[in-house]
Structure 1
Amino acid sequence: MKKILILLAVMTLFGCSDKGSAQKIEFRKEIIYTLDGEKPYTGEAVLYYDGDNIESRGYSKDGKPDGEWTYYFYNGTVKRKGSYLNGKMEGHWIYYYHSGEVEGEAEYRNGKEI
């Protein structure tokens, strides 16, 4: 039981570090870069509308979205979610209303709706 509590505490501490890493990345011409602008970013990406409200969260590889991404309305409810492959929408995407109800769903292959 102690091990589980310690693990949860560590996850909570490191989970709060997203804001710091989000401030170190930015989109430029559809590529995610570190703020110093020297190289495309690889890793978890968390982008903010402002200092507190998350705009999107996902993973990037060599500066391109790659893997699961979730986009949020300004109020924090999910706007849409799905996957990217090498910077292009891929697979099943779900779109939501502000209320949280599903607005629609779509399938993508190589960035195009099918």
Structure 2
Amino acid sequence: MKKIITILMVVITLFGCSDKDSAEKIEFRKGLIYTHNGETPYTGEGVSYYDGDNIESRGYSKDGKPDGEWIYYFYNGKVKRKGSYINGKMDGHWIYYYHSGEVEGEANYRGGKEI
């Protein structure tokens, strides 16, 4: 029993400590994603900011292109839109929100085109 509790504590600690600081600060340049002041297109989880404190977007990229889940935020911190990319193109189900947080609309994409 002690062994199970110890394992659970380790798992909770590892997964419970991830926060916004675990993602790399990124910026968009010439249509690609780079780490802040980086020279090569970025692969991994990144966060871009309106300014030092307010998150503009958060998601995953591969070779500088959005690839995976992305969330975009209004300046007030509420979600603006969220969905997924594959190789830099919108793909799958996207949800769009008003400033109030209410759903504005939804759309499905494949290869960057609405279907």
TM-score under structure 1 normalisation?
Answer: 0.83
RMSD: 1.9
What is the percent sequence identity of the aligned residues? 69
* Structure 1 unmatched ranges of 5 or more: none
2:41 is aligned to: 40
Q: For 1:55-110, what per-residue CA distance to the aligned partner results, in whole angstroms no more than 9, with x for missing partners?
A: 11110011000011111111111110111000011111110111111101111111
Q: Report the 3-state secondary structure (helix = DSSP H, G, I; strand = E; otherwise coil) of the residue aligned with 1:17.
A: helix
TM-score under structure 2 normalisation?
Answer: 0.82
> In structure 2, do the counterparts of structure 1 residues 106 and 34 end up closer, same or farther at CA, with 3 Å as the change threshold?
same
Structure 1: how far apart are the matches of 2:37 and 2:100? 38
Does the 8 Å CA contact 1:18/1:46 hold for their aligned counterparts? no
> In structure 2, do the counterparts of structure 1 residues 5 and 52 end up closer, same or farther at CA, with 3 Å as the change threshold?
farther
1:34 is displaced (CA, Å) by 2.4
2:75 is aligned to: 74
* Structure 2 unmatched ranges of 5 or more: none
Larger radius of gyration: 2
Structure 1: how far apart are the matches of 2:80 and 2:37? 30
Structure 2: how far apart are the matches of 1:87 and 1:57? 14
Instruction: Indicate yes or no: 2:19 matched with 1:15.
Output: yes
1:6 is displaced (CA, Å) by 5.5
